[in-house]
Amino acid sequence: MSTVSVPAATKTATLMPTTSPSPSTPTASPTPTSTSAPTPTTPAPTPSGSCYNYNGLDSCSSSTQTELPAADDQRKWQTPPRNASGWSTEYQDYRSLTGYAHVVYGSARTSATVTVRTYLRVASATCSYTFNGVRSTSPTFEVTSSLKADLIIVATCTDGSESWKLELDPVNFIWQNNAVNQPSGMKGGQKGAIVDLFGWPYDDIAQECGDFLGKAGYMGVKINPPQDSVLTDAWPQSGQRNPWYFVYQPVSYRLYSRLGTRKQLRAMIQTCRANGVRVYADAVVNHMSGGGNDVLSHRYSSGGSCVTWGAKSSAKKSPYYTHSFTYGVNAYTNARPALEFPAVPFGPTDFHCERTMSSWTDPLQLEAGWLTGLTDLNTEKTYVRERIAQYFVDLLGIGFSGLRLDALKHIGPVDAGAIFGLLSKYMGGSLPDDFISWGEVILGGEASLLACNANSGYNFYKGLDAQYTANGISATDIAKLKIWSSDYPKEFPICGSWILPASRFVIQNDDHDQQNDGSSSRDMGDAGSVLVKDKDVAKHRSFEVKLFTRTDADWQIKVVLSSYTWFSNGAAGFPDGYSDCSGFDTSQGQTCAASVPYEKAFRAGSCGYTVEGFAGGKYTRVHRDLSIVNAMRSWVGLSSVKLSDLGITGSC
């Protein structure tokens, strides 16, 4: 994705994230997650001295500092109290009480211990709990596989003069999920094709699982990040209402998305599983939202004007705070704003101090830098690691079979090893038999550091495996923890030989990051094709077929991107309705100029490559192409099929 290098205090609405470019390739990008300010329609003139903000006050003070001072935690508890000005229902009593459910399974995964971890502004307060309506003074609750329903938890705390209530999201358990029946060639979830249904709402995915994916022979489907993320209807980003990359700016680990609610998500997963299709989540845990994309008011001075913008929100309307571009004092802390995401909960010291990245060969910057303004989590911290691992436990409990780990390169091998070690521990001492993950490590020009030199100190091949072993993960489970092959299809194996076996890598032709104009997450040259850029169906089909017919390495997991066409005016939202300008809120005086009209993603009996002349906002349904389906089926040992076998009607 293209990038504009500007100082943090003068960001423009075109700033987008990058990863390390190799000397001979365009600037690369992992998951675009623009953190810049909206572009107001009518910036106000700047009266002298009136556009000051707090930028720089939470920046790292030295080249070696990574953590924020412990005293910064005194600036949290910024959420308005119940019924105060600015409060809303989803804010609960986050002013005084936050927490989450911590789940640890027994070794057979037929029982679990659930502990409510609460955090209180008033340390002397005491709490009681209800578990499915049964009151307890203990925060711990034992569950067995006899529980078939959601576990509903409420914590009530008091200091004698005030009381606060925390209602947690339902807790689901791995034994509650539908069984997945798949052909033996898929090796119990360890070999197969996964469709990346990019921008598909959950209800449409459920329909696609029932109508097509299972009978076609796909092992699974990957969905966009399911966690609550930035969403706004009143403040445009580069003229757009909610570009797609906002889903890569999480504000909590609650499973509510623009693509559906937790209830819809669980229903979709169970429908897919019942139809022989596993589901995988895109997990964003390197960072939270971008600085300035929060519920506060913001400003900066630019060219004699004061650029201002107001509060953004999220899919679940959660409160969340950053310090970037802010200028006011919080009415409840009497301090300037601080990093706080109460619905997780994360506070100021759960993040790295703000550092602009200026080197792609410095491990400290790769791990602790703020990737284009994204609030970087301090994954060296035990609590942060535990909370991330518990998010993964929740994903498995609701029915996911694994995950893509976004921005693994910026989490680092030591922290990633610790997080997956905790996941294994919390899941009863091992990973589920069908579990897989694949981490995004874009090599760029740093293959020696990141891959080939096991002693580089920041290595994701042998070095990361050593961390997995050090954290108690067995060799059997390490084989399930894969790396997304950014050197495919042009440069593999990037080190000249297979440092790790090919079975440890996940490959695909085009990926979602490559679709953005002026950007490539990797250099495929003439060895691959990005459909929405090349606009050549035959060319693209040939590379998708080759993904499954090539025999030069023993890859076990292969991904097919099924996305939507892009507009020439830069409109880059999902066609799910939330990027349609007809729903834009003009009450703040802003305008939405780049619209993506709604289109239903599921289309019964559809052919593949429904690009409609590459008009913008059309779901491509690449995964429905018969040539690709039959190449994939042959690879996993299934017989070929006809269009009629798949329920595809008409001529394709």
pLDDT reading at 3 higher than 50: no
Torsion, Cα of 326, 228, 31, 408 (10° steps): 100
Range of the domain at 160: 96-175
Q: What is the pLDDT of residue 10?
A: 29
305-309: strand order across its sheet: 44-45, 305-309, 298-302
CATH number for the domain that contains residue 147: 2.60.40
Q: What is the pLDDT of residue 49?
A: 62
The torsion region of residue 307 among left (phi > 0), alpha (psi -120 to 50) and beta comes to beta
Judge if 480 and 597 occupy the same domain: yes
More confident residue, 477 or 13: 477
Number of domains in the chain: 2
pLDDT category at 31 given cuts 50, 70, 90 is: very low
Within the chain, what is the greatest distance between any pair of CA atoms?
A: 74
Q: Is 182 within a domain?
A: no
Q: Is 180 within a domain?
A: no
Judge if 8 and 72 occupy the same domain: yes
Judge if 106 and 195 occupy the same domain: no
Q: What is the pLDDT of residue 6?
A: 27
Mean pLDDT of 14-38: 35
Judge if 201 and 288 occupy the same domain: yes
Judge if 324 and 293 occupy the same domain: yes
Q: Is 112 within a domain?
A: yes
Q: Is 342 within a domain?
A: yes
Judge if 171 and 30 occupy the same domain: no
CATH number for the domain that contains residue 76: 3.20.20.80
Q: What is the pTM of this model?
A: 0.94
pLDDT reading at 33 higher than 50: no
DSSP-based three-state secondary structure for 144: strand
Judge if 503 and 476 occupy the same domain: yes
Mean pLDDT of 316-342: 98
Judge if 296 and 169 occupy the same domain: no
Q: What is the pLDDT of residue 520?
A: 63
Judge if 147 and 212 occupy the same domain: no
Phi and psi, residue 384, nearest 5°? -65, -45
Q: Is 82 within a domain?
A: yes
pLDDT reading at 27 higher than 90: no
Q: Is 14 within a domain?
A: yes
Q: Is 327 within a domain?
A: yes
Q: What is the pLDDT of residue 422?
A: 99
* Token output for 74: 């005194």
pLDDT reading at 23 higher than 50: no
Question: What 8-state DSSP symbol labels residue 80?
Answer: P
More confident residue, 523 or 232: 232
Mean pLDDT of 51-75: 97
Q: What is the pLDDT of residue 372?
A: 87
Mean pLDDT of 401-420: 99
Judge if 88 and 214 occupy the same domain: yes
Q: What is the pLDDT of residue 37?
A: 52
Indicate the residue among 127, 148, 175 that finishes a domain: 175
* Token output for 644: 């009629």
Please state which of the ranges 22-31, 225-234, 285-294, 323-332 shows the lowest mean pLDDT.
Answer: 22-31
Average pLDDT, the chain: 93
Q: What is the pLDDT of residue 444?
A: 87
pLDDT reading at 125 higher than 90: yes
d(CA 206, CA 269): 7
pLDDT category at 42 given cuts 50, 70, 90 is: very low
Judge if 229 and 143 occupy the same domain: no
State the angle between helix axes of 262-274 and 382-398 in degrees (0 to 180), rounded to the nearest 10: 50
Q: What is the pLDDT of residue 2?
A: 29
Residue type, 68: L
Q: pLDDT digit string (tens) for 144-181?
A: 999 999 999 999 999 999 999 999 999 999 999 999 99
Query: Percentage of the chain surpassing pLDDT 90?
Result: 89
Judge if 71 and 114 occupy the same domain: no
Beta bridge partners of 554: none
Q: What is the pLDDT of residue 15?
A: 29
Indicate the residue among 118, 150, 175 that finishes a domain: 175
